[in-house]
Structure 1
């Protein structure tokens, strides 16, 4: 959903409200164009303020990116932890996690690409902060996939490693598809994924056990 051009920089706009407008526009800019191509001038234009005001509020381009990244990363990490729950992973956990991700991103779907931005300058604070979120989310995925495999009778750590990679790429691919289909609600996407999981399970089922 495009952020409408506004006159947020005009007098009388409360500072906190103006900050939120800037963050919303910046999240869209970083999420749709990537850090490398994102422009502070474009963000300022979206909000109706000057680049000088952006610098006064958030500092550098990297500082503004970090201000967008932190709430996105915290929200996704918290929602995945909550969806996984304290009782261990069950066969229903993957779908519950996907549903929670869709819900967390609804209304600002491009925020996914703020977190998983491949254009971040290596070695900078932005890349380090994003990598810390990636590692935390991957850690949750690794624990969950290992639990599922143990339930299925596999203790091979390489099986768990492969499944973690598959899961990470699956989530990224599904979210990318969802971004291109704005008519799909989080609930509809969760049901769709449930059907796909069921179909995959049927295709891979042992015929001697069916």
Structure 2
């Protein structure tokens, strides 16, 4: 008797973690291109190749999907700046390499900066809290670096300097959108010229 085999479609079943990464990558593109309010879950689902109900099964809601995108950006940003800090051998190189990592990250994750720029357009306390958490993560990280590089600073001074540095980085990242000819390396040098004299012991 001839054995009957179920037909195969040739479509590989994607592991959940891999599928989530795919969804987040597509969602970031859509949020960046269309903005949160205009972004369509139907469009995201179609681009990923899932049904809309399946997309909701993964993230619960459009807001949940946006929060997941921001949380991923938050993790990747701290990873990028941590790696940059680990490779520095002097306080000047530490500052330079971390600033450069920040600006390169803003180039690679333009959607995160678009949301920071237009956060008032997202009427969600959870989303705005996550956006602020991204800032605070970098402030705390930067304050820790300053305390290591400048042991003469007290905690209050380190926090104040860190807030100013992160604020300057955000404004410079936004300025670069109007000046696309300015590279991440050039932005880093501009900010180094401003910060180094005030941070010198």
Instruction: Please state which band the TM-score falls in when normalised by the shorter chain.
Output: 0.5 to 0.7
CA RMSD of aligned residues (A): 3.9
Quickly say closer, same or farther: Cα 1:157–1:97, change in 2 above 3 A: same
With normalisation by structure 2, the TM-score equals: 0.66
Q: Does 1:164 align with 2:162?
A: yes
Q: What whole-Å deviation, never above 9, does each CA across 1:57-79 have from its counterpart, x for those lacking one?
A: 43222331233223211111112
Distance 1:78 1:197 in 2: 21
SS in 1 for 2:110: coil
Q: Does 1:143 align with 2:137?
A: no
Determine if contact 2:103/2:187 at 8 Å carries over to the other structure.
no
The residue number in structure 2 matching 1:75 is 76
Determine if contact 2:23/2:48 at 8 Å carries over to the other structure.
yes
Question: Unpaired runs of 5+ in structure 2?
Answer: 1-9
Q: CA deviation at 1:162?
A: 3.2
Distance 1:162 1:71 in 2: 27
Determine if contact 2:84/2:101 at 8 Å carries over to the other structure.
yes
Which of residues 180, 187, 197 is equivalent to 1:193?
Answer: 187
Q: CA deviation at 1:167?
A: 0.6
The residue number in structure 2 matching 1:43 is 44
With normalisation by structure 1, the TM-score equals: 0.64
Determine if contact 1:109/1:179 at 8 Å carries over to the other structure.
no
The residue number in structure 2 matching 1:7 is none
More helix by share: 2
SS in 2 for 1:91: helix
Q: Does 1:134 align with 2:135?
A: yes
The residue number in structure 2 matching 1:175 is 173
Determine if contact 1:35/1:117 at 8 Å carries over to the other structure.
no
Distance 1:133 1:166 in 2: 15
Determine if contact 1:31/1:110 at 8 Å carries over to the other structure.
yes
Question: Unpaired runs of 5+ in structure 1?
Answer: 1-10, 205-210
Distance 1:160 1:180 in 2: 31
Q: CA deviation at 1:144?
A: 2.6
Distance 1:74 1:49 in 2: 26
Determine if contact 2:73/2:109 at 8 Å carries over to the other structure.
no
Determine if contact 1:44/1:51 at 8 Å carries over to the other structure.
yes
Which entry has the higher C-alpha Rg, 1 or 2? 2
